[in-house]
Chains A and B, each alone.
Chain A
Amino acid sequence: SQQGEEDPQALSIQEGENATMNCSYKTSINNLQWYRQNSGRGLVHLILIRSNEREKHSGRLRVTLDTSKKSSSLLITASRAADTASYFCATDGYSGSARQLTFGSGTQLTVLP
């Protein structure tokens, strides 16, 4: 079953605008990760934020994590047509033994040129 929901389900913006996606989850986590998927292909890792971190940056990406609200957001600044893809958050409850990612439902981002 899905860990939680992503909001919005679909987002369409103009090139150069910022895109914000939100993710909610249900259980305690070790870390939260964001992945991108281009049209039915494999997932590409974007950024990982640990449960004791509140904000992280990587290039044009900014991720926030609020463990009290069990939510995270991904901001893509100055978007480009090449950013068009589906974006998924995934929580990792890794406890030193098994690895299992629990994914959100995803946001389909379309960046119009």
Chain B
Amino acid sequence: KAGVTQTPRYLIKTRGQQVTLSCSPISGHRSVSWYQQTPGQGLQFLFEYFSETQRNKGNFPGRFSGRQFSNSRSEMNVSTLELGDSALYLCASYPDLTGGITEAFFGQGTRLTVV
């Protein structure tokens, strides 16, 4: 089974631009979460999608948005990029198990650099 795939792996953008990152979960997984990792703030939860619906959102400004498609693939978008948005963005998917207790499966991440 293929793992979680994130594209692109690396991205360089200029301040003020917008960016879209993509995540393809493991086949059969319907829950997709996004995390931002920076040296200063560590790993922080952005949002979670399940069956095309956002179920939970972290404490990030409205410039950060996401969506999920009917095939469970997810995208996140950051508009009006700031230098502080430079980070490793990680996507994780979960199997849809009853009982709910399961680990997350992470992709390799997208390294975004804003210049």
Number of A-B pairs, beta carbon distance below 8 Å: 74
| Docked-complex contact B48 and A45, CB < 8 angstroms | no
Q: A88-B43, A101-B33, A101-B45 are in contact. Are A48 and B56 (CB under 8 A)?
A: no
Binds A, one of B62-70, B73-81, B104-112: B104-112
How many residues of A sit at the interface, in one of the four size bands? 20 to 34
- On whether the beta carbons of B104 and A103 are closer than 8 Å, the reply is no
Q: Which of chain A's residues have a CB closer than 8 A to the CB of B106?
A: 35, 42-45
Residue A73 lies at the interface, judged by CB distance under 8 Å to chain B: no
Binary contact readout A10-41 vs B (1 if CB under 8 angstroms, 0 otherwise): 00000000000000000000110101000011
* Contacts of B11-45 to chain A: CB distance below 8 A: 31, 33, 35, 41-45
Residues of chain A lying within 8 A (CB to CB) of residue B42: 2, 103-106
Q: List 9 A-B contacts (CB under 8 A).
A: A1-B44, A1-B59, A30-B100, A43-B104, A48-B102, A92-B101, A99-B56, A101-B92, A101-B104
